[in-house]
Chains A and B, each alone.
Chain A
Amino acid sequence: MRKTALCLLSAILLLFGLAAPASAYEPVNIVHTEKVQAGPYNVTVGFSTWPLKAMQSLDFTFAPDDGITGKAGVVMLSLGEEREGERLARHPRKREVWGLDVYSLPEPGDWTMRFDIEGPAGTGTGELRNLKVMEQPGPPLGLSWAISTIPLFGLVALIVIAWRRTRRPV
């Protein structure tokens, strides 16, 4: 019993020992920036990958020139009827600026990023237009879904077999 407990403990320690170096969270590396003038606020929009591709997640950062202290607001991403809005919150891995972490845009096209900011200098609105998002990488989505729903079809096949063999009530 004691040996089993020791083995189990060693396995757990080994597991966490190996997991610890791999669990380091990646820093936010901005590779491209754009400028947006939202009323009195000049905002630098940072992207951790460029160009953008549909469904590919990245880190966005939003940095007003004089910092985020005392300011609040909303960022709205839109493409035609599609709209996604978020309150401007600090980026979890870059707390000195606002941001969206591992965030993806679902469709290709020319997106608009709109900022509504309130701060000591009053309110301001500004847009980054024609933010080009390219086609999604990888296989067509239909194929990905077909591969991913194989277990469901397997389950249906099991049900069909079981259905045929269990007609008699028990």
Chain B
Amino acid sequence: MDLTASVAAEARSVPKGLVPASFVLGGTFLSLVGLTWDIQWHSDVGPDTFFTMPHLFLYSGSAVAGIASLVVVLMTTAAQRRGQRTDPIVGGRAVGVFGRTFAAPVGYLISGIGAASFLLYGLWDQWWHGLYGFDAVIASPPHIGLLLSVSITMVGAVMVFATAREHRWGLFGTIGSAAVLLSFSMVTVLGLQALPRGTVDSVDVGVAFMSVLILLMGAGAVGRRGGALAVAAVVAVLQAVFWWFSPWAAEVYADATGLPVRDYVDGVPALPSMIPMCLLIVAVAVELLRKLPAAVAGAVGGLIVTVCAPLQTSLVYGASLPDTTPYVFTVLLGTVFGALAGLLGRRFGQMLRHLAPAKETSHA
């Protein structure tokens, strides 16, 4: 009877590692929601202060992920000091930090470092705004520092779930966290606007590189047919939801604070329109070419993204198509960087697969 009760309790209990991993993923999702809302707010309404609701989402996202990471590191450290064996399914193998002062599962170490870095860049951003004013420029140095910090937390989230890829929750979490990272990275690449202006559209090339890289990385980490397609499908869902959410949230918040919507607002959801709409086609190509060298799939992916980018801008904003020369050069460079992203993405997927604990043999 006792045995039955114990088995039933075991079946009902939450899988080990799921709770902290969910907090980290939830934190990164909050950051993504805050970012899409904040960009739309500046585009449609305008005024900025430190304490706006979109900013609170951004800060709390890193705070939630950071606190969850810290708790896991402290619990792992305490367990090791008591001489207990720690389960590597929770964020991967524990590594020593500050000598052996702390024992940190590698996934949570990375997500925690990203959150701590976000805090530091938050201070840098405050100083910057004090000097330069509350400009709403995405590609300012401190903003890119903040976005990179959140990206590191998101990489940590992918690592945490990839560690548990043998479990269903690990599989779904890997796909979800890769999709969040991909969507967020479409804004981070705007930092490339700081490069000198030339013939090539560096942002389009950056979008191609990051899209292909994360699609192949996610597919590699999952290690099953349909991995790239699953990541692209989740990105498409996020894009669709944010397409509705971003302008709606900006308008509702403007009403709540008694601020008017700007004159001549184009109504285009800003962050969702940065995400390539052709990503599902890229994912299908990656799936079909999975037996070929990764550079081939990557090159095809980079080609598709850079060919479609101006078409998407034209469709969404009604903008005119670019001149032939810069367009051709951008597509060529996008294809080359796509090939590189393909190679790196597949290798990163392999790295993530190493995080999963080695299977114990039955006769061990």
Contact = CB atoms under 8 A, between A and B. Distances in A.
Taking residues whose C-beta sits less than 8 angstroms from the other chain, chain B's interface range is: 35 or more
A144 B142 CA distance: 8
A70 interface: no
A151 B155 contact: no
B135 interface: yes
B264 interface: yes
Contacts of B322: none
B351 A166 contact: yes
Interface string B134-148: 111100011011001
A122 interface: no
B145 A147 contact: yes
Interface stretch (A29-37, A110-118, A126-134, A156-164): A156-164
Contact of A137 (B132, B136, B152): B132
A4 interface: no
Contacts of A57: 132-135
B259 interface: yes
Nearest to B145: A148
Given A147-B145, A148-B144, A104 B110 contact: no
Nearest to A141: B141
A101 interface: yes
A166 B350 contact: yes
Contact of A170 (B134, B263, B354): B354
B56 interface: yes
A102 B140 CA distance: 14
A159 B148 contact: no
Contacts of A144: 128, 141-142
A89 B264 CA distance: 7
Contacts of A141: 141
A71 interface: no
B308 interface: no
A97 B45 CA distance: 16
Interface stretch (B17-25, B47-55, B77-85, B241-249): B47-55
Interface in A12-33: 15, 19, 22-26
Interface stretch (B113-121, B313-321, B329-337): B113-121
A141 B195 CA distance: 12
Contact of B264 (A22, A25, A87): A87
Contacts of B45: 92
B46 A102 contact: yes
A120 interface: no
A151 B48 contact: no
Interface of A: 15, 19, 22-26, 49, 55-58, 87, 89-90, 92-93, 95, 101-104, 137-138, 141, 144-145, 147-152, 154-155, 158-159, 162-163, 165-166, 169-170
Given A92-B45, A151-B148, 12 more contacts: A22-B49, A25-B259, A87-B264, A92-B260, A101-B46, A104-B133, A148-B124, A151-B149, A155-B148, A159-B348, A163-B347, A163-B351
